[in-house]
């Protein structure tokens, strides 16, 4: 794995096409309160790009251009959170989305283990460490351990998607999965407008 770390934005000459894996690191789990600190990207080629946001309020135009590109498939794990924090921070609507957590819950109904580390272990036989998950992502200098952890969170998403797609097709649930992926933009709107905990579909 090769890690490339950037300050505030991607280089203008860095191009992505077809699909990218995306993850975020924040100061907490409340998009309305907790600052976005780091965005991770990978095309599945064993290179991970880390964008460290150092200037609060800064708009990374090169990154935003990629996130707004509807032709690029964006692969997340638990897209609901990442899209909400990106939407709130940059005032953008991300479309053409795939969520491996949703795909796993639809395809792997024989288990309740749908975390990223679970999927890495069970689908790819890869064991990953989550030790840095709750570390301080707002610090001025990220440690090597933080960088490795952050990069690893996007390193395997393309391979996981490929495995889950086969299962979704086998179980005839691919159309249902895409309907769920398309609804994420509405689900994140509900989260940001105050309906994060309430199930408005209940009686």
Short-list 16, 27, 53, 57, CA closest to 158:
16
- Say what the pLDDT of residue 131 is: 81
Q: Residue 134: its pLDDT value, please?
A: 85
Distances (CA, A) of 80 to 6, 107, 154, 169, 176: 25, 18, 16, 23, 17
Q: Check pLDDT > 90 for residue 123.
A: yes
Nearest 5°: the CA angle 44, 49, 52 is 150
Residue spans per domain, the chain: 2-193
133 has a pLDDT exceeding 90: no
> Would you state the pLDDT for residue 55?
86
Per DSSP, the residues of 47-68 read EEEEEE--STT---HHHHHHHT
Q: Each residue of 79-101: pLDDT tens digit?
A: 999 999 999 999 999 999 999 99
Least confident of 7-11, 126-130, 173-177: 126-130
Q: Report in angstroms the alpha-carbon separations of 41 from 74, 184, 196.
A: 10, 20, 26
Task: Read off the pTM.
Answer: 0.97
**CATH, range 2-193:** 3.30.420.10
pLDDT band, very low/low/confident/very high, at 11 (cuts 50, 70, 90): very high
Residue 56: what pLDDT?
85
73-82, 84-93, 129-138, 150-159: segment of lowest average pLDDT: 129-138
DSSP assignments along 154-191, one per residue: HHTHHHHHHHHHHHHHHTT-HHHHHHHHHHHHHHHHHH
Residue percentage of the chain with pLDDT more than 70: 100
Q: 75 CB contacts (<8 Å, ≥6 apart)? A: 19, 20, 21, 22, 98, 99, 100, 157, 158, 161
User: 49, 24 in Cβ contact below 8 A?
Assistant: no
**pLDDT per position as a tens digit, 15-52:** 998 999 999 999 999 999 999 999 999 999 999 999 99
d(CA 140, CA 124): 34
Over pLDDT 90: what percentage of the chain? 94
């Amino acid at each position: 794995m090769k890690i490339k770390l950037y300050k505030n934005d991607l280089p203008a000459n860095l191009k992505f096409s077809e699909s990218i894996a995306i993850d975020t690191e924040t100061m907490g789990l409340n998009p309305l309160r907790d600052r976005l600190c780091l965005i991770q990207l990978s095309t599945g080629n064993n290179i991970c790009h880390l964008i460290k946001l150092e200037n609060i309020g800064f708009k990374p135009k090169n990154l935003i251009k990629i996130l707004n590109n509807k032709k690029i498939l964006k692969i997340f794990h638990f897209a609901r959170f990442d899209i909400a924090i990106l939407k709130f921070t940059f005032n953008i609507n991300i479309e053409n989305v795939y969520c491996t957590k949703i795909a796993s819950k639809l395809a792997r109904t024989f288990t309740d283990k749908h975390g990223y580390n679970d999927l890495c272990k069970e689908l790819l036989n890869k064991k990953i460490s989550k030790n840095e998950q709750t570390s301080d992502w707002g610090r001025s200098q990220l440690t090597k351990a933080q960088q490795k952890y952050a990069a690893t969170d996007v390193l395997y998403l393309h391979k996981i998607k490929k495995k889950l797609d086969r299962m979704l097709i086998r179980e005839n649930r691919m159309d249902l999965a895409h309907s769920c992926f398309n609804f994420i933009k509405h689900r994140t709107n509900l989260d940001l407008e105050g309906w994060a905990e309430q199930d408005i579909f209940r009686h």
